Structure 1
Amino acid sequence: MGSTLWRVVAVWAVSTLTMLVLAGILPDFKLQSDDGDSATRIAVTAALGAGAFGVLSAVVWPLLVRALLLVPALVLGLLAFFLNGSLLLIALRLIPEGRGEVGAETAVVVAAVMSAVASATGGALAVRDDDAYRRRLYRLSDRRRRRNSGRDDQDGGGPVTPGTVFIQLDGVGHDVLRDAVDKGLMPTVADWLGEGKRGATHRLTPWRTDWSSQTGASQLGILHGSNHDVPAFRWYEKDTGEVMVSNRPASAVELQRRAIERTGDGGLLTVDGASRGNLFSGGAEQLALVLSMAARRGKENRSRAGYFAYFSDPANAVRTALSFVAEVFREIGESTRARVKRRRPRIGRGGLYPFIRAFATVVERDVVVAAVIGDMLAGRSAVYADLVAYDEVAHHSGPTGPDVEKVLARLDRSLALLAQVAEHAPRAYRIVLLSDHGQSPGETFRARYGLTLGDLVRAGCGLPVPRRAQRTHSGAEARASVRAALRRPVEEGADERRPARRAEPIVLASGNLGLVSFPDVPHRMTREEIDRRHPALLPTLANHPGIGFLLVRSAERGPVVLGARGVEVYLAEEPAELGPLADFGPGAMEAVRRTDGFPHTADIMVNSWYDPAEGEVLAFEEQIGSHGGLGGAQARPFLLSPLALSEPVAPGQELVGAEQVHHVLRCWLGEELGPEVPVGDAGAVRAENPQVTAREAVAEAAVPVDDSRPNAAGGTAFAAADAAGQDKTH
């Protein structure tokens, strides 16, 4: 209360000074009688005028805007100046003895300047005040809340069943979250885990990603129940001659279409859901900052919870703008310190990167959090939102260290804000926290060996290698959000267009996973064909110290993993020895085998070297924190779920793959919302026996049909998919 009163007084004082300055500058604006007044009297007049204008702006302006909602946006924007000027004229009329006087045209200018100054002052004073921020967001979503009041029960109360909010902390691995809690960086998460003053309300569960440990594959699997045929972040498709890129709007639309076609279902959020800041919609009707919808500009696909809705509040705009500028300077300072201290590994962080980082850590975070708050106050049943701040910073600063610790602390403040809002929402909410992948540290392949994976492939093919290798760009998710917001196509580099030369290989990188394709061969080349065409290529790659293993397909013996010194592991023959896969942890062979079955798997799949002792990999992109392949923390994200929901897995078992996570989340929605959420026979199992875990429910209802993807407990994920009525192709 005290801080709010202080801000009101400060804004009033600044507005008074602004009015005095304008009265001194503008000849048609005065704050004194014709006979002249003392300085004190003029100041009192200015204070009265500023106060009256502030009160009218706070009380009358929202009513005027609401009354003019049907006016076209452009007309309303022009009309706003005249309405604001009219409020100033009224305010001056309220000053005793008629000392305030201004011309009609000048009133428009004075009102506009005073409104801007007042908003800037209030925003600057409240920029670190989450309570004030939350109150503004309440006001921002108040109209939407009333518009959706039809969801409430007939007696006027809110919905009886709880809602669920899924918050994805992009790129935050299980161990990173655990360390942040132990260091006191995330007190909200610590309280949920019972490490604060009260008992635990949530449980922490690690899960294991697919071979393609990146947002495109993980989020598609989580939201739509299938990430089949997503071998990497970017890959070449021979049948169309195009490169698919997960964070390109056109590619995201196609991937979502394929997933829906495969599962026969719209997604996790089809029942009264909202998708915020994601690559895919999840079947939600309410969308904001969803990449798969960025290319669709029809009125029916727009969302009031996006950028325009957020920045329609000047205080929000000021708060975010000031934080944006602060974040740009913070990044410049951090990168300068890294250079001065000669930290290793290190990559370039100049150019536009400070602004891209500020967009990810400030703008995207604020807009998405505001949208989620609006969804909670509107009483939506299910919300899924992605916060990409950590992932963007970790790519350039590394997965651990002071740079990312600051980001994690600020993300925890956002979680605390959402938890506070949940207490005032019209229905109870369960907050589920999860990540789509982790990140593994390590220097880049180019920094260690002086050449890129593309250079190495060209050398193995006997092609000329350029003296100066082209520098690849980060595949961070935030970059796509920036381009989508600016309505610019997402292009990560020259290699992501149609190949210019028919016989040269296309080499693409997804973190420490590389893909080599020969575009002039219409089918996936076999090992024998590659050896006949380029006899030195496979040995060159397999024996390079920066390569962990290769996946190719033999015409005679099926998929084969190649390692150094001639080691071969034939995956179709249940090998007794795992060879180079042994260092990559449990489930590596199953993950590689599953990817081999995708229609668009590259001719050669390349996974970088991995050091199990240090957890380091070598990224084929310019990233010192990377993800996309096998090796280390990148394949170990987390799932933090309320104790009120069933156990995601039984003791001693683990979740394997994003598709299994989808079915667990879907089962939880069935527990919360009842029969309105289609979860197949698994929902009936949980209804009869609430003590079983979510995974046991889908397993008990399963009809095994495909053993292509065994999990750690010996079951099959595709069987679980059938149990939930999802995968119609098996």
Structure 2
Amino acid sequence: MQTATTPKPPARRRLFGFIVRVIALGLIQALTLWGAAAIIPGIDVPSFGAALSVVIVLAIFGSLIWPLITRLLLPLTVLTFGLLALVATTAMVWLSLGVVDHSNPTVLGSFFVAVLMTVVSTIAGTLLDVDGDAYHLRVVRRRIRKSRGVNETDVPGVIFFEIDGLGEQVLREAVDSGRVPTIARWLADGSHRIVGWECDLSSQTGASQAGLLLGSNENMPGFRWYEKERGVLMVSSSVADTAEMERRASTGSGLLAVDGTSRGNLLSGDAPRASATLSVVRDKDRSQSSEFFAFFSDPSGMTRTLVLSVHDMILEKVAYWRQIRSGDEHVHRGGIYPLLRAAMTVVMRELNTATLLADIVEGVPVSYSTYVGYDEVAHHSGIRAPDALTVLGRLDRQLLRLERAIPQAPRPYEIVVLSDHGQSQGRPFRQRCGQTLEQVVEQACSSESGVIAPPAVAESWGEIGGWLTELSTEDSAGGRMMARATRSFVGADGVALGPGREAQDQHLAITNAADADRPEVIVLASGCLGLISFPRTPGRLTLEQIEHQHPGLVASLAAHPDIGWVMVRSETEGAVVLGAEGKYRLSDDSVTGVSPIAHFGANAADHLRRHDSFGHCPDLLVSGAYLSDEDEIVPFEEFMGSHGGLGGAQMHPFAIVPSGWSEIAAPIVGAAAMHHQLKAWMVEGGLPVAQSPAALE
């Protein structure tokens, strides 16, 4: 890691090593082409020298032609999921073969050569440790010469690298087992240390990022919640709702407010520049898809991304098959899921890294990026599943790429790795008891007039939809092409694909319903947290009112063997937490019988008191059971790894920070507390931060 006192590696040595590795890679590509010509019909390469010439011409064509195509058709490249890059590579192979030996290669043969050379180059480049980001960084340097000069300083910048959903314990296990060699090296060298912290209830990305990036996550009771006074269903993966969340929480003093950038996050942290950030995709003063230009301008990089995506889909199918064959607990993940997973674990990973590399070369003071791949796979496979840990190892590789780019920056940099929450393992509620939470509520309610549970769609669909919305609103030829290509998928909240469109329509129907047409009961799941509201009755219902309307409902929920506790407000006792064998009164911490929150963490009561104070706290807050002996939670969603509530590893994220940063004065509890700690560390390093209005008074 390069800091203000660490000299850059000798330029000549770096250049010599790079040239040697590139020559070796070129020779391997030439051998691949020469061998391919012997077995692929329609391809004629008479000698190894001719093959080497083709490789050189191919590199020249890639440098001259593809950047022009990308500048014109960037959104279309994205829409085709990189297939346009493969088409371009095929065309360049065809042209290169014709230029070198004046042959007439077939298009199909050129296609197979393009795929084969990409696969071999990807493997060989990794084994040879070739800096595959060199082309990308050259493009960036040409585009930002002026800003590089402005940002030249000895004050270290900070790159915040968030690994969504990774708990501290799983991280430590991955370090010990060698799964994350870059992080392990930093810890062993003493350049970094791990700081554990505790996130809020609810333990999910929307609330955690609001706290981390904006300094406040008040009144965000779940990933989804119902606001009675407005009759609105809020969803943390909605373009419009994340914009509203940011409007409410922002004071203009976010973590990234002073010349920072936001890359692939739900919320922007008040960054003046952003890409793939859901809350600002429609703010064209801050969010521009042109930030992706350097990444998409490299045809080999795009083709490599496509090949890696196909590889990831194959790995997913193999991992799923092994879980089924071994009899391990699992959830269904067929259909389009492998493609969705590849988009999150490969495409978004590569895009985030590309934009962070550009930020480093430009000298941006502070940047924050969220990598969602581990969270996505751990949800479906399990928090310690081999394929989840494989994804984690690939994220560690991105840290190495960033570290290697720092010597090319106009300033030193510190890299901080952190998570927003953890995940807890556990088989879904429906698998355990044969019913969903909605069905349990419906069965216990006295009325048959409408218990609804709007579908809980993976947040990945919202992120992809938001990204496509950003690209389709770009004021360019490519943006207009993207808008035409996605117009049949556009709803009120922007582009929505797959189950996201159905969820968006239901979301809109609930929001637009007249008072008389509101459902009687809404049941929402946020991991292991259930939020139950009664929309037809204004204000927050008390235990007594609910008992009058639906006798036995609360008692039935509290006694359920797969439910840990139910929080409700009583007219006589205030907020109480009810369990199968006892009651906890939050006003004075008194316990009757067995405390239902005894195993949910030392700060469980404080988290619940805070939640109870929210104006948007649901009428009933329900938690899945926590099996402390097994460290497992019971989620209401169809996940093997989950978060959103209290109990176990989901509450314990981490931050890997430079060892030179000061020690924390007290345990960090809550994302807002971590926000202020991160700012304090930035100030120690000499970076300016925006002060909140309250701090200035």
SS in 1 for 2:197: strand
Q: Give how far 1:486 is off.
A: 4.4
Q: Give how far 1:386 is off.
A: 0.8
Note if 1:317 corresponds to 2:302.
yes
| Structure 2 letter corresponding to 1:508 | L
SS in 2 for 1:545: coil
CA distance in 2 between counterparts of 1:532 and 1:71 reads 64
Q: Give how far 1:230 is off.
A: 0.7
Note if 1:254 corresponds to 2:244.
yes
2:201 corresponds in structure 1 to: 211
Asked if structure 1 preserves the Cα contact closer than 8 Å seen for 2:191 and 2:659, the reply is yes
Q: Which runs of 5+ in 1 are unaligned?
A: 26-30, 32-41, 681-720
1:435 corresponds in structure 2 to: 419
CA distance in 2 between counterparts of 1:327 and 1:465 reads 45
1:281 corresponds in structure 2 to: 268
Asked if structure 2 preserves the Cα contact closer than 8 Å seen for 1:153 and 1:159, the reply is no
SS in 2 for 1:275: strand
TM-score under structure 2 length normalisation: 0.82
1:302 corresponds in structure 2 to: 288
Where do residues 31-42 of structure 1 align in structure 2 (5 Å cutoff)? none
Q: Give how far 1:64 is off.
A: 6.8
SS in 2 for 1:422: helix
CA distance in 1 between counterparts of 2:27 and 2:506 reads 58
SS in 2 for 1:655: coil
CA deviation string 1:13-46 (max 9, x = no partner): 5667899999979xxxxx9xxxxxxxxxx936x9
Q: Give how far 1:615 is off.
A: 1.2
Aligned pair partner of 1:533 in 527, 531, 549? 549
Aligned pair partner of 1:135 in 110, 131, 135? 131
Deviates more, 1:556-565 or 1:54-63: 54-63
Where do residues 280-679 of structure 1 align in structure 2 (5 Å cutoff)? 280-294=267-281, 296=282, 298=284, 301-306=287-292, 309-344=294-329, 346-464=330-448, 476-487=458-469, 488-489=495-496, 490=500, 493=503, 496-499=507-510, 502-565=518-581, 567-575=582-590, 579-647=595-663, 649-650=664-665, 653-674=666-687, 676-679=688-691
SS in 2 for 1:583: coil
CA distance in 2 between counterparts of 1:225 and 1:75 reads 37
| Structure 2 letter corresponding to 1:407 | V
1:175 corresponds in structure 2 to: 169
| Structure 1 letter corresponding to 2:360 | M
CA distance in 1 between counterparts of 2:29 and 2:181 reads 33
SS in 2 for 1:654: coil
CA distance in 1 between counterparts of 2:536 and 2:455 reads 26
Q: Give how far 1:416 is off.
A: 2.0
Deviates more, 1:210-219 or 1:663-672: 663-672
SS in 2 for 1:506: strand
From the superposition, tell whether residues 187 and 23 of structure 1 become closer, same or farther in structure 2 (CA, over 3 Å): closer
SS in 1 for 2:408: coil
2:230 corresponds in structure 1 to: 240
| Structure 1 letter corresponding to 2:682 | L
SS in 1 for 2:441: helix
2:255 corresponds in structure 1 to: 268
CA distance in 1 between counterparts of 2:64 and 2:320 reads 48
Q: Give how far 1:145 is off.
A: 2.5
CA deviation string 1:463-516 (max 9, x = no partner): 4599xx999966544332233344433457486454475352000000110000
CA deviation string 1:427-453 (max 9, x = no partner): 211111110111111111111111111
SS in 2 for 1:384: strand
1:700 corresponds in structure 2 to: none
Asked if structure 2 preserves the Cα contact closer than 8 Å seen for 1:20 and 1:43, the reply is no
Asked if structure 1 preserves the Cα contact closer than 8 Å seen for 2:226 and 2:234, the reply is yes
CA distance in 2 between counterparts of 1:54 and 1:333 reads 34
Aligned pair partner of 1:9 in 16, 27, 52? 27
CA distance in 2 between counterparts of 1:293 and 1:349 reads 31
Note if 1:188 corresponds to 2:182.
yes
Instruction: Pick the structure with greater CA Rg.
Output: 1
Same amino acid, percent of matched pairs: 37
Q: Give how far 1:222 is off.
A: 0.3
Deviates more, 1:595-604 or 1:628-637: 595-604
CA distance in 2 between counterparts of 1:404 and 1:495 reads 32
Q: Give how far 1:636 is off.
A: 0.6
Asked if structure 2 preserves the Cα contact closer than 8 Å seen for 1:11 and 1:118, the reply is no
CA distance in 2 between counterparts of 1:427 and 1:679 reads 24
Where do residues 90-105 of structure 1 align in structure 2 (5 Å cutoff)? 92=99
CA deviation string 1:330-365 (max 9, x = no partner): 111111111111112x21121111222222221111
CA distance in 2 between counterparts of 1:276 and 1:133 reads 26
Asked if structure 2 preserves the Cα contact closer than 8 Å seen for 1:280 and 1:292, the reply is yes
Asked if structure 2 preserves the Cα contact closer than 8 Å seen for 1:268 and 1:283, the reply is yes
Asked if structure 1 preserves the Cα contact closer than 8 Å seen for 2:182 and 2:396, the reply is yes
TM-score under structure 1 length normalisation: 0.78
Q: Which runs of 5+ in 2 are unaligned?
A: 1-18, 78-83, 470-494
CA distance in 2 between counterparts of 1:593 and 1:330 reads 44
1:43 corresponds in structure 2 to: 46
Ranked by relative contact order (alpha carbons within 8 Å, sequence separation 6 or more), the top structure is 2
Asked if structure 1 preserves the Cα contact closer than 8 Å seen for 2:67 and 2:298, the reply is no
Asked if structure 1 preserves the Cα contact closer than 8 Å seen for 2:453 and 2:522, the reply is no
| Structure 2 letter corresponding to 1:325 | V
Q: Give how far 1:146 is off.
A: 3.7
Asked if structure 2 preserves the Cα contact closer than 8 Å seen for 1:269 and 1:284, the reply is yes
Note if 1:125 corresponds to 2:120.
yes
Asked if structure 2 preserves the Cα contact closer than 8 Å seen for 1:18 and 1:114, the reply is no
From the superposition, tell whether residues 247 and 69 of structure 1 become closer, same or farther in structure 2 (CA, over 3 Å): closer
CA distance in 2 between counterparts of 1:114 and 1:425 reads 42
Q: Give how far 1:575 is off.
A: 3.2
1:706 corresponds in structure 2 to: none
2:12 corresponds in structure 1 to: none
| Structure 2 letter corresponding to 1:274 | T
Q: Give how far 1:275 is off.
A: 1.2
CA distance in 2 between counterparts of 1:470 and 1:342 reads 33
SS in 2 for 1:135: coil
CA deviation string 1:592-617 (max 9, x = no partner): 11111111111111111112221111
CA distance in 2 between counterparts of 1:332 and 1:613 reads 32
Asked if structure 1 preserves the Cα contact closer than 8 Å seen for 2:29 and 2:121, the reply is no
From the superposition, tell whether residues 405 and 69 of structure 1 become closer, same or farther in structure 2 (CA, over 3 Å): closer
Deviates more, 1:279-288 or 1:533-542: 279-288
